[in-house]
């Protein structure tokens, strides 16, 4: 080997170590961002649920208050009209009673009957007065209840305001995390982020491999359930089964994907076209 060849070998090894360090840093930081994004998204969902529950309680309280108020006003109006009518009837009966006293000799039986009727009307009037007092008492209770409901509504409005503020803060944090993910070439789609946790069971072959033995194309893609970030394992079946290494998907299409080798291959073995790419077959050391 010439002196120039040795220098080229040393340069290639240096670049390999540099790419390994960069890949390790990107993998570590992206994993932290994915975890933080899932936590923040979970908090957003919880706050949304609390906000919806608080809004439902507030709406129910307002409706109950309006219904109670309308019922009270209708009942009060009805009793007031009945009381006025009975007062008018009572006046008429008193006048009849006075007239009956003047005609007592000729209409004693009639006067007696009238007195009995007047007495019954008085009893009815007293009963209505008692009912009116009960209604007034109930009205006072409704007013107290209304004050309590107003206090509860104000409290719920404060809770809603706080929840809205927290929701806005969390949305801002999620937006920042999404920006960081996109800046590092990762998707901020939560369905894809969740998909990274458990790649689907797939198996394909290596179509092409670049001269550096670090980037390859596989025959499986998004139609098989793969997303950017999934890690697959590379095996060779002929002349004997052997583990080659692992690679991570960097771009994906419906029927193919591009993967970047993670670190170095096992024992420095070269990846070849036709090697198996799988998520189900894992190495055993």
pLDDT along the chain (285 residues), means of 10: 75 80 67 68 82 77 77 81 81 82 79 82 88 87 86 86 79 73 59 61 94 94 92 91 93 95 91 93 74
Question: What is the SS3 assignment for 142?
Answer: helix
The sign of the torsion formed by the CA atoms of 117, 119, 120, 125 equals positive
Q: Which of 58, 77, 81, 72 is nearest to 143 (CA)?
A: 72
For residue 239, say if its preceding peptide bond is cis, omega within 30 degrees of 0: yes
pLDDT in tens, 116-130: 888 888 888 888 888
Instruction: Find the DSSP H helices in the chain.
Output: 3-102, 108-183, 190-195
pLDDT in tens, 118-171: 888 888 888 888 888 888 888 888 888 888 888 888 888 888 888 788 777 777
pLDDT at 42: 83
pLDDT at 41: 81
pLDDT at 77: 84
Question: What is the distance in angstroms between the CA of the first residue and the CA of the last residue of the chain?
Answer: 35
The pTM score is 0.37
List the structure tokens of 10: 């040393």
Domains of the chain and any CATH numbers: 41-183 (1.10.287), 199-278 (2.40.10.340)
pLDDT at 56: 79
pLDDT at 115: 83
pLDDT at 161: 84
List the structure tokens of 270: 């070269």
pLDDT at 26: 63
């Amino acid at each position: 080997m010439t002196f120039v060849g040795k220098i080229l070998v040393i340069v290639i090894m240096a670049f390999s170590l540099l790419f390994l360090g960069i890949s390790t840093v990107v993998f570590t930081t992206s994993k932290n961002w994915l975890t933080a994004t899932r936590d923040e998204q979970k908090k957003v969902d919880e706050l949304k649920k609390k906000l919806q529950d608080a809004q439902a309680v507030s709406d129910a309280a307002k409706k109950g208050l309006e219904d109670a108020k309308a019922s009270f006003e209708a009942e009060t109006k009805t009793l007031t009209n009945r009381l006025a009518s009975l007062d008018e009837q009572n006046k008429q009966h008193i006048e009849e009673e006075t007239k009956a006293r003047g005609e007592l000799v000729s209409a004693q039986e009639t006067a007696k009957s009238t007195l009995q009727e007047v007495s019954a009307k008085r009893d009815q009037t007293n009963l209505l007065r008692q009912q009116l007092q009960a209604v007034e008492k109930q009205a006072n209770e409704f007013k107290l209840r209304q004050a309590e409901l107003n206090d509860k509504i104000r409290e719920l409005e404060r809770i809603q305001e706080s929840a809205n503020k927290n929701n806005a803060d969390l949305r801002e944090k999620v937006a920042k995390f999404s920006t960081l993910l996109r800046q590092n070439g990762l998707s901020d789609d939560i369905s894809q982020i969740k998909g990274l946790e458990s790649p689907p069971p797939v198996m394909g072959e290596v179509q092409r491999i670049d001269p550096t033995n670090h980037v390859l194309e596989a025959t499986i893609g998004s139609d098989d359930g793969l997303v950017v970030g999934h890690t697959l394992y590379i095996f060779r079946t002929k002349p004997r089964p052997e583990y080659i290494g692992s690679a991570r998907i960097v771009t994906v299409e419906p029927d193919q994907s591009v993967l970047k080798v993670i670190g170095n291959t096992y024992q420095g073995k070269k990846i070849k076209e036709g090697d198996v790419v799988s998520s189900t077959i894992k190495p055993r050391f």
